[in-house]
Amino acid sequence: MAQSKSRRKVESITQLLTVQLPGGERVLFLFTIKQLVASGKTESFGGDFLVLAYRGSSFLDPKGKGGSTGYDNAVALPAGGRGDEEELAK
User: Could you give the count of Cα atoms lying within 13 Å of 52 in the half-sphere of its Cβ?
Assistant: 17
C-alpha span between 11 and 7 (Å, rounded)? 14
In degrees and rounded to multiples of 5, residue 79 shows phi and psi of -85, 40
The reported pTM is 0.25
Enclosing H/E stretch for 31: strand 26-41
- pLDDT tens column, 21-55: 888 888 877 777 777 676 777 676 666 766 655 56
What are the domain boundaries of the chain? Answer: 5-73
